[in-house]
Amino acid sequence: MILNSTKCILLYAFLFICKIHAQDFFSGKITYEVKYESPIDNKNAEHLAQENLIDSIVYYIQDGNYKSETYFEGQITESYVYNQQSNWVHYRFPDKDYYLSIDVTTEKMNFGKIKFNWQNEANEILGYSASKAEVVKAYNKEIIYYADQLRVNPKKFNQHKYAYWYETLIETEGRLPIKTIQHDANYVEIREAILIEKSNYASDFFEPEPDFMQVVYRDILDQEAILKELNLEAEDCLNQHIDKISNKLILGKNDNYVIQVVIDETGKPIKANSITTNEDYYQTAEKIILECGFEFEPAIYKGKKVKSELYIPLDF
């Protein structure tokens, strides 16, 4: 009787340990190397790395949160951070001093369906066994190897519809990609893990920087900001700025600018950056937007007025 009881205790202990191990989800950092090849003859096409400003990606994930940094020649060219408490992912680019933010509960940026065609073959990458799938989307096709031992809990991402996140994690049973081959008409992009490090991070590691303004990405807006008709005072201000430089303007050369404008919840422009900076008077164009009383109907998202970004052409 005592022997049978001991066996039962050992069995329960074993099952309990197995259950804990089965729920031991990955927390840490994955570094991917990014390479390019020609789609025709598989020759090296590294010039595309320079065009796309990417040669490596560092990815962090823990307990329903993630963070990514894209590098080119040691410099960050794009980054984003997601905290499951907010349900927003925040993108940062070197030429902007604010975030472009996307609500991950939206499906507005998911184009069509996603389909997984699993391949029945054994693969090993960086010492990890991997399951191979052909992943077909409306706009591209990828071959993705999902690491069997690198898993996250799909339930932590059950609100994350953007970029097919939750749908993908359900399909892959929480597996993370260890290698991706993306086929494009002009190139083949290969992302392969070269370093995997288990680690734990403080909760604020996955928070957006508090001093960075969050601007809602235009593709998810219900209504974009709309420029109101200029009043007489604004037109007079505009003409005064142009009169100061009119004798130096050359038709078709330095008289046309496109301004990237951030508009706040009240419809006021609060940032203006010319994306044409190689001409003479782009700073004048920026001043006109900020100083001449331009007014906008603010952008709307889910019934609320929000900060947004808009491109405005100015022709002197």
In this predicted model, what pLDDT tens digit does every residue of 151-185 receive, in sequence order? 999 999 999 999 999 999 999 999 999 999 998 87
What's the one-letter identity of residue 205?
A: F
User: In terms of Cα–Cα distance, which of 76, 99, 100 is closest to 212?
Assistant: 99
Q: How far apart are CA 112 and CA 114, in angstroms?
A: 7
The SS3 assignment for 144 reads: strand
pLDDT digits (tens, 9 = 90+) for 179-230: 999 988 778 899 999 999 999 999 899 999 999 999 999 999 999 999 999 9
Rounded to the nearest 5 degrees, what angle is found at the Cα of 236, between the Cα atoms of 232 and 238? Answer: 115
> CB atoms < 10 A from the CB of 217, how many?
21
Q: Convert the pLDDT of each residue in 273-312 to its tens digit.
A: 988 765 667 788 899 999 999 999 999 999 999 999 999 9
The pTM of the full predicted model, rounded to 2 decimals, is 0.86
Given 3-state DSSP classes, what are the helix, strand and coil percentages for the chain, each rounded to the nearest 5?
A: 25, 40, 35
The DSSP bridge pattern shows strands 304-306 and 299-301 to be antiparallel
CB-based contacts of 24: which residues, under 8 Å, 6+ apart?
Answer: none
Residue 138 banded pLDDT, cuts 50, 70, 90: confident
Domains defined along the chain, listed by start: 25-218 (2.50.20.10), 221-315 (3.30.2420)
